């Protein structure tokens, strides 16, 4: 029986650190033949998502038009990261990042890759709060892209 394909989950919040985590995971996937899934956790509300994405222009839309604008926005953000990489699966989750990423990790992934800090960074923090929460309770190994690594 052939060995099972390694499955990598990459937490992406579109910060430079999370893009670095994607690059590290992409390199690992290319070397090992692993599958790659990008996961972004957005706020529950569409208004909150538009605000967190700094898309005030979308706030002029209501209901289904706002939701459609956000779908397009996130599709473009995912595409900009994974451009030229081949087949990469994208997941758009809703809720608290550490909880949703742990929940997703239980679905058969082998490794979760994440940047050392994200958008909510505190200047003096070496690791962001989501990373710390995942290191303390993720059901699979967590690969934290080193903050000083530049590609």
The answer to whether 13 touches 118, Cβ cutoff 8 Å, is yes
What is the pLDDT at residue 148? 64
Determine the 3-state secondary structure of 89 from DSSP.
strand
Question: What domains lie within the chain, and their CATH numbers?
Answer: 7-46+87-119+127-145 (3.40.50.620)
CA nearest neighbour of 130 among 103, 98, 105, 87: 98
Q: What is the largest CA-CA distance in the chain?
A: 55
Q: How many CB atoms lie within 10 A of CB 35?
A: 16
Encode pLDDT of 38-55 as tens digits: 999 999 999 999 999 999
- Distance, in Å, from the CA atom of 40 to the CA atom of 97, rounded to the nearest integer, reads 8
**pTM for this prediction:** 0.88
Q: Please state which of the ranges 5-9, 14-18, 72-76, 79-83 shows the lowest mean pLDDT.
A: 79-83
Is pLDDT of 121 > 60? no
């Amino acid at each position: 029986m052939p060995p099972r394909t390694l499955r990598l989950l990459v937490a992406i919040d579109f910060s430079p650190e999370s893009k670095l985590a994607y690059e590290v995971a992409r390199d690992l996937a290319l070397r090992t033949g692993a599958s790659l899934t990008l996961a972004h956790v957005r706020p529950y509300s569409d208004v909150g998502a538009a605000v967190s994405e700094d898309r005030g222009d979308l706030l002029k839309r209501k209901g289904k038009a706002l939701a459609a604008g956000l779908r397009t926005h996130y599709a473009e953000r995912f595409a900009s990261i994974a451009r030229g990489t081949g087949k990469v699966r994208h997941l758009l989750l809703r809720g608290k990042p550490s909880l949703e990423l742990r929940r997703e990790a239980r679905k058969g992934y082998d490794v979760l890759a994440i940047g050392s800090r994200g958008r909510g960074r505190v200047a003096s923090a070496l690791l962001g709060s989501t990373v710390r929460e995942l290191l303390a309770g993720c059901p699979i190994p967590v690969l934290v892209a080193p903050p000083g690594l530049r590609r």
